[in-house]
Amino acid sequence: MKNTRKGVLHILVSVIAVCVLGVVAFIGIGEHHLGAAKNIRLGLDLAGGVSVTYEAVKENPSSQEMSDTIYKMQKRVEGLGEEPVVYQEGSNRINVDIPGADDAEAVLEKLGKAGSILFVEEQDLRPFLEDPDATYLAHPTNPKKNQKLAVEQQELYDAGVVIVDGSDIDKAEAGTDTSGTSTEYVVALEFSAAGASKFEEGTARAASAGSNIAIVYDGTVISNPNVTQKISGGKAQIDGQKSFEEAEELASTIRIGALPLELQEVRSNVVGAKLGSEAIKTSMMAGVIGIIIIMLFMIVMYRILGLAASIALIIYVGAISFTLNCFDVTLTLPGVAGILLSIGMAVDANVIIFTRIKEELAMGTSLETAVKNGFGKALSAIVDGNITTIIASIVLLLMGSGTVAGFAKTLVIGVVLSMFTALYVTKFILNGLIMLGITDEKFYGKAKNTKVIPLVKNFSKSSIIAFVFIAICIGSLIANKVNTGTILNYGLDFKGGTSTTVTFGDGVEATDVKAEVITMIEEMFSQTPEVSEVKDANTLTIKTTALEKEQRAELSKAFVEKYGIEEKTIESETISASVSNEMKRDAIVSVIVAVVLMLIYIAIRFNDILFGTSAVLALVHDVLIVLMVYGVGSLFGIISVGNTFIAAMLTILGYSINATIVTFDRIRENKKSMKKDVDIDTLVNTSVSQTISRNINTSLTTFIMIFMLFVLGVRSLREFTVPIMAGIIGGAFSSICITGPLWCVLKKKFSK
């Protein structure tokens, strides 16, 4: 129904929204320019950050002690920035990289001195204090009066008075206790199995003697809580904190001291981006060009509908830029992947809606009714697809760490915003255009009669194609194992390597020779290094795969001869993998849990466990396609596996499940609307055929975004985009040729 005044209002509001978000994206709000795209925090790989190196106080620590300390330190620093990286350097050093930070001193202050924490019964501790007769041990308001040890902490171990130490503590968190008449601020502790047993024995002795248990951190008593009874079960609570901040400070100190090894700071500095400013520029350019191409594609394919979607997409881009800034999210390369995926899903939702509208128009429905019915019928597929992705994102965010958590955070923000813009913003704009009188059906298009393809009949052929690619995947992994000893060409993130620090003298600027150094190392060792600058120092940090002693000497000689620097200004260290075994385990476990929860959700929503089973099997197929690209790329030495490997796998996981949901939603709908005597083959063939155009169009729009990043991006971005492009193609194939027919086969076999 034409309503010019209301239509103008709709369009005016939309234009104002685009302008406001555009201004905010470029300029921001207020003196701090809140919401400006240029103020989005970038990670260490895109914009650098703070790097801190610690050294173990203990001589010759074991590999297990170092590994445990790295994992606990990783958990400790996750609150300081997005995707912090902790890895081993040499035999007794640990590096901590904090993305987005630019003040090394502030980071060190937040981390605190990584000393050790001990729990000792007060009466056993007093003989070791500087003032054994003091009436206090830990002053409640003046930390300077906290009692100190007159001996090294090791002597407490030697005397056998230590009840538990940091290695026995799993958690220390501030909280509130409202069980009494007033709110109390407390610190909740959780001990390991071995620690729980020791703590139970210690508290039993202290309670019977009427003694306190003092907490000693780095040679100073920081708390001296009273013990009234034996504490069992591995959990304890420290009462009496005057505020939540005081409780958090104590909990934080205990967490720092809960590291298996006592650490001391060796150096700290601000480092430059691993990928460099060029990566940021090319990524932004790729994103802008990709979005423009997608908008043109949508307008050509869907006319007025596509115009409404394009305006909504601009609003979405502005909204996500503002949200990332407001929530202070640090954006890294995997985070970029999450945003690209959410843009694809935003367009995906619009394509689902528009396909429905065109189908309604083809049936002779009026335009207003077609729009209403189109949004209504598309709602279940959009909601189900987005909820499964959100479920996966939340699990990855809660259980994962580092790259996994960073990817999940940007993805969940992007998915929520994309669902809102598709369901409400696009509809608002579209209604405005209709109210202005743009109602001629030629501006919207009608769906053509669907040609039903016998996909179930050809399922065996599709399966053969799938198995061929899976066989190539497995074959490439085996070939890599035989040739190199590993199934993939693991990069620095997974297997570690050599870190070389070079300080240049007068006349040579590190910034100017960075590209030259990369080329030199590529020619010398046939590998592309990670090279970053050190802020306020004429220094480059160069990370390569492990170099032999002779190769290190050759590299040092090359720097001396080419740049005239002294050899003593060149330092080399062996560094461990930044992706620890524990982080790999967290990633694998979180993905498994996410897949299981998605399967359960699909089974409940579609009232059929076989839908969930088919979805998971199709998802495995898509992931194996990506793995095949990595395997073949590793075999020919053109792709290495680093942190982006995890991001690529997660991207395909989220994208694949969303495409599968759309197919299943159409099967579910047709199952209700078609005649009961229609055989299952016809049901599946018809349903999948009706969603083919949607699957192709959404795969194409997402492919465009990734392809532009491939064309314009730096080499490391290409290693990330090629597998994703393969996964998108594999996902389109599985959603059309595998998912529906597979459900049909399983339904026939297990229907009873």
Domain harbouring 86, CATH code: 3.30.70.3400
pTM, two decimals, is: 0.68
Q: Which residue, 533, 557, 575, sits at the end of a domain?
A: 575
Q: How many domains does the chain have?
A: 4
pLDDT in tens, 71-85: 777 766 765 655 677
The two three-digit tokens of residue 8, written as one number: 């103008």
Same domain (yes/no): 143, 77: no
> CA-based Rg of the chain, rounded to a whole angstrom?
30
Give the CATH number of the domain where residue 20 resides: 1.20.1640.10
Tokens 């090279």, located at residue: 531
Residues 24 and 131 in one domain: no
Q: Other CB atoms closer than 10 Å to residue 607's CB: what's the count?
A: 8
Same domain, 100 and 130: no
92 and 134 share a domain?
no
Contact 626, 747 (CB under 8 A): no
pLDDT of residue 15: 78
Assess whether 169 and 303 both reside in one domain: no
- 524 part of a folded domain: yes
Domain of residue 540, CATH code: 3.30.70.600
**Is the residue at 711 inside a domain?**
no
Residue 733: inside a domain: no
Low-confidence ranges of the chain (pLDDT < 50): none
Angle at 121 between CA 118 and CA 124, to 5 degrees: 105
241 in the same domain as 150: yes
Q: Please tell me the predicted confidence (pLDDT) of residue 663.
A: 85
Residue 470 lies in a domain: no
Q: Are residues 437 and 561 in the same domain?
A: no
What pLDDT was estimated at residue 201? Answer: 92
Do 148 and 34 have their domain in common? no
Residues 246 and 138 in one domain: yes
Q: What is the pLDDT of residue 520?
A: 87
Considering the domain architecture, whether residues 310 and 438 belong to the same structural domain is answered as yes
Domain CATH for 239: 3.30.1360.200
Domain boundary among 113, 143, 158: 113
Determine, yes or no, domain membership for 304: yes
User: Residue 363: inside a domain, yes or no?
Assistant: yes
**DSSP β-bridge partners for residue 173:** 188
Task: With beta carbons less than 8 A apart as the criterion, state whether 704 and 726 touch.
Answer: no
Within-domain flag for 215: yes
Last-in-domain residue among 113, 133, 158: 113
CB 262 within 8 A of CB 57: yes
Neighbours of 27 (CB within 10 A): 12
Q: Which pair of tokens denotes residue 267?
A: 């150096």
Q: Which domain holds residue 96?
A: 49-113
The CA distance from 318 to 25, in Å, is 6
Q: What pLDDT is recorded for position 606?
A: 80
Alpha carbon distance 651, 632 (integer Å): 20
Q: Cα–Cα distance between 606 and 388 in angstroms, integer? A: 13
- Residue whose pair of structure tokens reads 């041990």 in the numeric block: 137
Whether 199 and 124 share a structural domain = yes
Q: Identify whether 492 is part of a domain.
A: no
Q: Both 539 and 503 in a single domain?
A: yes
